[in-house]
Amino acid sequence: MREKIGLMAAKKAAQVRRNMEKPRGILKDHPETASHIVDCLKGMRLAGEQIDSSIIRTTIQGVIVVGALELFDRVVDKDKDSQPVKFSVSKTFAKAFTQRHLGWTW
């Protein structure tokens, strides 16, 4: 059983490393911003801070404001009235980012 858990952890760690090598989605052209987000979140956790979804979202938003502000002007979809919807750091985005780049879940 321990061997199986160890293999699963190694597989997860390898996937996280691959994801950090080449960010996808809206951050694909801003790998330094993605890396900075990961460093900030890891640093907070290493410092013993309790991190919840609100803190994660706010941290991601803050790093993007500093490093890639133009992302918030990017149209990512249309609403039901065909009006443009611009990128925002939603709970869904934050959850997917932390899962993909850090292996964290909530």
Q: Return the pLDDT at 98.
A: 95
- How does pLDDT run across 19-40, given as a tens digit for each residue? 556 677 899 999 999 999 999 9
User: What are the structure tokens assigned to 20, written together?
Assistant: 């950090």
| Residues 56 and 100 sit within 8 Å (Cβ to Cβ) | no
Instruction: Answer whether residue 58 shows pLDDT above 80.
Output: yes
- Give the pLDDT of residue 17: 60
pLDDT at 83 over 90: yes
Is the predicted pLDDT of residue 106 greater than 90, yes or no? no
Q: Label residue 8 by pLDDT band (50, 70, 90).
A: low
**60: number of CA atoms within 13 Å, CB side?**
26
Cα distance between residue 50 and residue 52, in whole Å: 7
Whether 1 shows a pLDDT value over 60: the answer reads: yes
pLDDT at 51 over 60: yes
